[in-house]
Amino acid sequence: MWKDAQGRSVASCRYHPNGGLASISLVYTRPADRRKHYAENLVYQVTMKAKEAGYVPMLYTDADYAASNACYEKIGYVLRGKLCSIG
């Protein structure tokens, strides 16, 4: 959870280390708190903690959501592929 200056939970993500990898997924920011860089800061901090623990961070996100992917690219993530599913 990421909390704002008033202590309110404003963003969250799922972090799951497994073997040598640490998956980061389900990144969410409350609609009223979007565009304030909360998710970007949260993902950055979780990524750094994963790296410090010796894991390779893997971020799973909606590859078609340009706004969130732009902030992940600032952190250093690079798009490696897309997931296909049956609709």
Domain boundaries, the chain: 2-75
More confident residue, 59 or 68: 59
- Element of type H or E holding 29: strand 21-29
Among 27, 32, 31, CA closest to 14: 27
pLDDT in tens, 20-55: 999 999 999 999 999 999 999 999 999 999 999 999
CATH superfamily of 2-75: Gcn5-related N-acetyltransferase (GNAT) (3.40.630.30)
Percentage of the chain lying above the pLDDT 90 cut: 76
Predicted confidence at residue 41, as pLDDT, reads 94
- Cβ-Cβ contacts under 8 Å for 30 (sequence gap 6 or more): 10, 11
